[in-house]
Structure 1
Amino acid sequence: MNVRFNEFLDQAQVVLERLEPLLPTAQPPLDWTRTLAARWHREGRGGALLPLQVSLDIQLADLIGVDSQREQLSRNTRQFVAGLPANHALLWGARGTGKSSLVRALLAEHAAAGLRLIEIERDHLADLPRVVERLAALPQRFVLFCDDLSFETGEGDYRVLKSVLDGSLERAPDNVLLYATSNRRHLVAERQRDNDNWQLVDGEVHPNEAVEDKIALSDRFGLWLSFYPFTQDHYLAVVRHWIEVLAGQCSLVWAWDEALERAAIRWAQGRGNRNGRCAYQFARHWVGLQLLG
């Protein structure tokens, strides 16, 4: 009898060891008076909000050349923080043009007024109802931030996400908004055949309805903001701004001249793009070289 009982205990132990990774780890509730940002972490069949250490050094004034986008999203966020109606926002466009930086700059601007940021990955958006439920009764205002939201051809997840967004966002409490960034306006890859020979495509009698199904996902966002590739003048203006900021922090005396401008242009050409990220990287490179010398 004891032998059988011991065998049962051994088997039960094996089962528990297999189940343990699927069980959520107990997490103490976050103190949102001290926590400015968190990330939704899926764990097994559950998940938890884990605190993030965020830097508030990026200010709205640091975002050069995107005045219209900055003002629109800033106004929408001010409405939200004030408890007024506001829209979920989709920021789409060229990479490195300040989409994510704008969202983080708004956190720095409004953190003292109760704004908080929660990062959630695209693959975890199905957990939105769980996240929203945890935030509903809290006094702070929460922006759920999904960076780089897009879907490749053949992925059917966007249909699931549409229903999740419909259910979660339409019934979301007043203290929750969703801000997402993407390189694609419609979030889903589109093909030329979506518009060519629209009368009949791959045997589908109404292919235009399939196209509507694809682009309907972005309609869940009431505010669309477009970010375009930088011109050379725009790029150089951002370079000058960041050199001024970084040099000021180090008390470095510097002057803008033709040689520095040429160096900034060569840096962008070597990377095949002109954007805010490239400008910031060059500024760090150049200021660091001057200080080293």
Structure 2
Amino acid sequence: MTANDDILHRIATALERLAPPPAPPCDWLAAPAYVWTGAGQPVAAIEAPALARLTGIDQQKERVVANVTRLARGHAAHDMLLWGARGMGKSALVRAAVRQAQADGGSLALVQVASDAIPSISALFAQLARVARNFLVFIDDLGFAEGDTVGPRHLRSWLDGGVEARPANVRLAVTSNRRAIVPRHGAEQDDPINPRDAVDDNLALADRFGLSLGFHACSQDDYLAIVHGYAADLGLAVDEGAALEWSKRRGARSGRVAWHYVTELAGQAGRQTG
């Protein structure tokens, strides 16, 4: 071995010592939930409110729970798009429905996809297809930038029939503030050739979800009903005037704002909300 060869050997050995060992393969049967970052990371428990605490969205809750239950039992189930107002329980409902299905004995895990890992979902599907378990792949607060044509095209392919389509034991759950997911603007209607083309193309993405549910901003009565429901569950008394003032200071009425107000009540009373 020459001196140069010896130097190169010692450099290679040093680099091997510095390099972290390869991550062990993810055990997709071991945990109730996972985060996908390009690799699977198990999560010990699903943080979600009890379904009974999610009030003001009874119809949406009934349909999501029924769909997730079917998936957990290995029956036909839909991909889901939950769209609409912020703070109305879209994400919490997905997590709570999965946790309830698991408590009922269903073979189901939740896999939440990190926002920067969305391009690698096809690799996730390839792993999940080999596992004897059902999975709900969850993309929270999905949105595509204006002019992004690659992301929506991949999503269409995952949903129905492309070579990257999700396997039979996997369904998608997506939350978004917009039903169309992609940005829309008035200029869509100004196409001199066919003013419907751009609009139809955007809406076609949402139409690929078998279950699409809207979540709308609260009326004052709905907001107070949610506050009373949360407070009653914790044995707390409600001052409606204070509850409304709380929402005014935050510029919104929603289930999230109602929960924050009840958390404040609980804290003032020296109580826990968990």
More helix by share: 1
Match of 1:45 in 2: none
Deviations 1:200-238 (A, max 9, x none): xxxxx4454333333332232111000000111111111
Distance across 2 between alignment mates of 1:55 and 1:163: 29
- Structure 2 residue aligned with 1:232: 220
- SS of the residue 2:270 aligns to: helix
Measured in 2, the distance between the counterparts of 1:64 and 1:170 equals 37
The 8 Å contact of residues 114 and 139 in structure 2, kept in 1 or not, is answered as yes
In 2, distance between residues paired with 1:55 and 1:29?
18
Matched residue SS, 2:182:
coil
TM-score by length of structure 1 reads 0.81
**Normalising to structure 2: TM-score of the pair?**
0.86
* 1:271 counterpart = 2:240: no
Q: Is the 8 A contact 2:79 2:209 kept in 1?
A: yes
Matching residue's letter, 1:255: A
* Displacement after TM superposition at 1:244 (Å): 2.3
Q: Mark the CA change 1:168 to 1:145 in structure 2 (over 3 Å): closer, same or farther.
A: farther
Distance in 1, matches of 2:17 and 2:162, equals 34
Asked if residue 30 in structure 1 is aligned to residue 27 in structure 2, the reply is: yes
- Superimposed CA distance per residue, residues 9-35 of structure 1 (whole angstroms, 9 cap, x where no aligned partner): 3664688799x58xx932243262x51
Query: Which residue in 1 is equivalent to 2:90?
Result: 99
Q: Paired residue for 2:36? A: 40
Partner deviation per Cα, 1:153-197 (whole Å, 9 max, x = no partner): 1233323443344456985333211111000101001011111x3
Q: 1:283: which partner in 2?
A: 262
Q: Distance in 1 between matches of 2:204 and 2:96?
A: 29
Following superposition, the deviation at residue 37 of structure 1 comes to 0.5
Check the 8 A contact 1:128/1:168 in 2, yes or no. no
Could you tell me which residue of structure 2 aligns to residue 250 of structure 1? none
Match of 2:183 in 1: 189
Cα-to-partner distance string for 1:248-290 (whole Å, 9 max, x where unaligned): xxxxxx434xxx1111111110011111111111101111112
* Count of residue pairs brought into register by the alignment: 268
In the alignment, residue 265 of structure 1 is paired with which amino acid? L
Task: Say whether 1:255 aligns with 2:237.
Answer: yes
CA RMSD for the aligned pairs? 2.7
Structure 2 residue matching 1:291: 3-state secondary structure: coil
* Structure 2 SS opposite 1:50: strand
Preserved CA contact (<8 Å) 1:116 1:142: yes
Native 8 Å contact 1:126 1:161 kept in 2 = no
Give the alignment of 1:1-293 within 5 angstroms: 2-9=2-9, 12=12, 25-30=22-27, 32=29, 34-42=30-38, 48-55=39-46, 58-111=49-102, 112-156=105-149, 157-166=151-160, 171-195=165-189, 197-199=190-192, 205-206=193-194, 208-247=196-235, 254-256=236-238, 260-291=239-270
* Mapped partners of 1:158, 1:225: distance in 2: 19
- Residue type of the alignment partner of 1:37: A
Distance 2:135 2:110 in 1: 6
Q: What runs of 5+ residues in structure 2 fail to find an aligned partner?
A: none
8 A Cα contact 1:129 1:168, kept in partner: no
d(CA) in 1 for partners of 2:74, 2:141: 27
- Rate the CA distance shift 1:147–1:57 in 2: closer, same or farther, 3 A: closer
For residues 135 and 24 of structure 2, what CA distance do their matches in structure 1 show?
Answer: 20
1:143–1:178 CA contact under 8 A, matched in 2: yes
Q: Which amino acid aligns with 2:138?
A: F
Aligned-pair identity in percent equals 35
* Correspondence for 1:251: none
State the one-letter code of the partner of 2:89. G
SS at match of 1:113: coil
Whether contact under 8 Å (1:89, 1:221) holds in the other structure is yes
* Offset at residue 140 of structure 1 (A): 2.4
